[in-house]
Structure 1
Amino acid sequence: MKSRREFLKGALTGAAILSAKNSLGLSGALDQQAESGKSKVVIAREAALHGPDGKLDEKRVGELLDRAISTYTGRKRPVDAWKHIVLEGGGKDKVIGLKTNGLGGKGISTHAVLVFAIAERLQQAGVKPGNILVWDRSARDLEACGLTINTDPSRVRCFGSDVSGFEDVVENWGSSHARFSRILTRECAMVINLPILKDHSMAGVTFAMKNMYGVVERPQDLHAGGCNPGVADLNAFPVIQRKVKLTIGDAMTSVYEGGPGFRPEHLWQPNALIVGEDRVAIDQIAWGILEKKRAAVGLKTFDAVGRPPRYIATAADAAHALGVNDPQRIKLIEI
């Protein structure tokens, strides 16, 4: 019988304001009735997530993921939570994409151990290995996460848009023009967003919404104005609203200054996962986490250094209506 580590490695190597049309409805009917109009975000923490050698403990990451998903969905058994996620995403026979972020390189990319844990739980919920597709912009980005490229449909697949290519048609929304990855448009029925929490030299904060820059051919075209309104416009495209349903944000390791690349002198370990459906609310919470850390080490606020993440408020405005950024309208649960 294979060990858990062998199983995981073998598998991978071989929204609007919680509206009916954009939400998976995962956070529980009772919560929504009691907290009408509020977007639920869960932050799950584990102080001992990293071992003495600085490496993540696989068992503890899995346990943290289970706590986060169970708390968010209101389902006691994690497998029941995942079965509900799979069902709401189209069923176990549909392809579920896991969109990582490896742009920052080794040391500040979505952690492979989190990807392994999610892939394992999706299979426990009845999804066939070949219907799980781990993806990013390119092989380089995936390898930076510690992942191995695999196109074998009998196993969990892992490849980038450099394999799939992009749609021929340029789509438009607001000021944005984009050609989308065929992985998003043709392969996946649902995408689970797996960003990593980082400082960004232009946008201030990069997390849930900005991770969508990895689904288009020319993300560089969306960086003007500190990525505002680029981030908001991109996330307003129907294909992203329709398919990118859930965020499981990797805040186990983070960079609070000098990002989005790896900056060991500004690396820290929040040891957390951030879960939610409202991408705007998630980014608002992430902003607060980074500001708190910056203050603790004596750095100025993002506003004071001229790079506040203005795209968050833009994404919440009436034209975009992608979620809520008002803390009074966010139900934050910390466990």
Structure 2
Amino acid sequence: MAWLAISCAGLAALAAEPFTSSRPAGPKARVVIVEDREATDSFRARAERIPAMVERGVTNLTSKATSREAWLSLVSTQDVVGIKVYSVPGPNSGTRPAVARAVVESLLAAGLPPKQIIIWDKSERDLRRAGYFEIGDELGVRVEASASAGYDDASSYTNSIIGSLVWGDHEFELTGPDIGKRSFVSKLVSQQITKIISLAPLLNHNSAGVSGNLYGLAVGSVDNTMRFELDPG
């Protein structure tokens, strides 16, 4: 119900804007759905089914014949590619580790150097509990927590909602009239990663309504996020 309410609010906002045929057309998103009824067993991913699904998805998305051609049309071997996972709910409700593994293996097969692939989320503890450090060790790729990389003074956004800063937030224990109004971007995102592949599952979120790619990427990339999740009442 919350998801429907957010969708309707978005449609209402669009309807309120005057529409003219001269309005410049924005870029169109391409959506590909890959289904396999045998891909999970009691919510657990069947690892042997996932690589073929990844290949079908990326080749259909890019209209390329092979997954190597598909990936190299999206990223280059010079990029540092961040595989953004959502590890807070664990391996069965969050991003399935088997999916992240299949994407990493496909990128490696396309020629990307292992040290230029980073599986990441906000919390090292969540990544470890979901099993991503084991995948990193096995495949030779990096696993990083954005909160541990530090936050970038030069990259932030401001919102009038003042946050109750907690340990780990960039401005924690600082004082001043504007303290708590900014959310700073992790240096992992602003200074290291050049391309991001988001592997967020679509979940219900009691505060945000829907937790998906936008929510997972936004909350995982910056600090001072409690102000957007707590009920002001």
Instruction: Name the TM-score, length of structure 2 as normaliser.
Output: 0.71
| Contact 2:80/2:193 (<8 A) preserved | yes
Distance 1:81 1:47 in 2: 25
* 1:168 and 2:153 are equivalent in the alignment: yes
Please report how far the alpha carbon of residue 106 of structure 1 lies from its aligned counterpart in structure 2 after TM superposition. 4.3
Distance 1:104 1:180 in 2: 23
Structure 2 counterpart of 1:74, from 63, 67, 70: 63
Distance 1:170 1:125 in 2: 32
Q: CA RMSD in A?
A: 2.7
- Percent identity of the aligned residues? 25
C-alpha distance after superposition, 1:177-208 (max 9, x if no partner): 21111110111111111111100102211101
User: In the alignment, what sits opposite 1:208?
Assistant: 213
Counterpart residue identity of residue 31, structure 2 = V
Distance 1:37 1:167 in 2: 30
| Contact 2:47/2:98 (<8 A) preserved | yes
User: In the alignment, what sits opposite 1:197?
Assistant: 202
Counterpart residue identity of residue 49, structure 1 = A
Counterpart residue identity of residue 122, structure 1 = L
C-alpha distance after superposition, 1:273-326 (max 9, x if no partner): xxxxxxxxxxxxxxxxxxxxxxxxxxxxxxxxxxxxxxxxxxxxxxxxxxxxxx
* 1:220 and 2:226 are equivalent in the alignment: yes
| Contact 2:147/2:223 (<8 A) preserved | no
C-alpha distance after superposition, 1:248-295 (max 9, x if no partner): xxxxxxxxxxxxxxxxxxxxxxxxxxxxxxxxxxxxxxxxxxxxxxxx
User: In the alignment, what sits opposite 1:55?
Assistant: 44
Counterpart residue identity of residue 40, structure 1 = R
SS in 2 for 1:92: coil
User: In the alignment, what sits opposite 2:73?
Assistant: 84
SS in 2 for 1:97: strand
| Contact 1:105/1:145 (<8 A) preserved | yes
C-alpha distance after superposition, 1:203-228 (max 9, x if no partner): 211101101211112211223689xx
| Contact 2:67/2:110 (<8 A) preserved | no
* 1:41 and 2:31 are equivalent in the alignment: yes
Counterpart residue identity of residue 146, structure 1 = G
Change (3 A) 1:151 1:70: closer
SS in 2 for 1:43: coil
Counterpart residue identity of residue 134, structure 1 = I
Please report how far the alpha carbon of residue 142 of structure 1 lies from its aligned counterpart in structure 2 after TM superposition. 0.9
| Contact 2:200/2:212 (<8 A) preserved | yes
Distance 1:64 1:174 in 2: 40
| Contact 1:136/1:142 (<8 A) preserved | yes
Structure 2 segments unaligned to the other structure (5+ residues): 1-24, 161-180
SS in 2 for 1:69: helix
**Higher RCO (CA 8 Å, separation ≥ 6 residues):** 1
* 1:179 and 2:184 are equivalent in the alignment: yes
Change (3 A) 1:69 1:107: same
Question: Which one has a bigger Cα radius of gyration?
Answer: 2
Distance 2:29 2:107 in 1: 25
User: In the alignment, what sits opposite 1:291?
Assistant: none
Structure 1 segments unaligned to the other structure (5+ residues): 1-34, 227-335
* 1:141 and 2:126 are equivalent in the alignment: yes
| Contact 1:100/1:134 (<8 A) preserved | yes
Instruction: Map residues 220-299 of structure 1 onto 2, 5 A cutoff.
Output: 220-223=226-229
C-alpha distance after superposition, 1:151-183 (max 9, x if no partner): 98x920002124312223562255472111111
Change (3 A) 1:138 1:161: same
Instruction: Name the TM-score, length of structure 1 as normaliser.
Output: 0.50
Counterpart residue identity of residue 183, structure 2 = A
With 112-121 and 164-173 compared, the bigger mean Cα shift is at 164-173
Change (3 A) 1:194 1:182: same
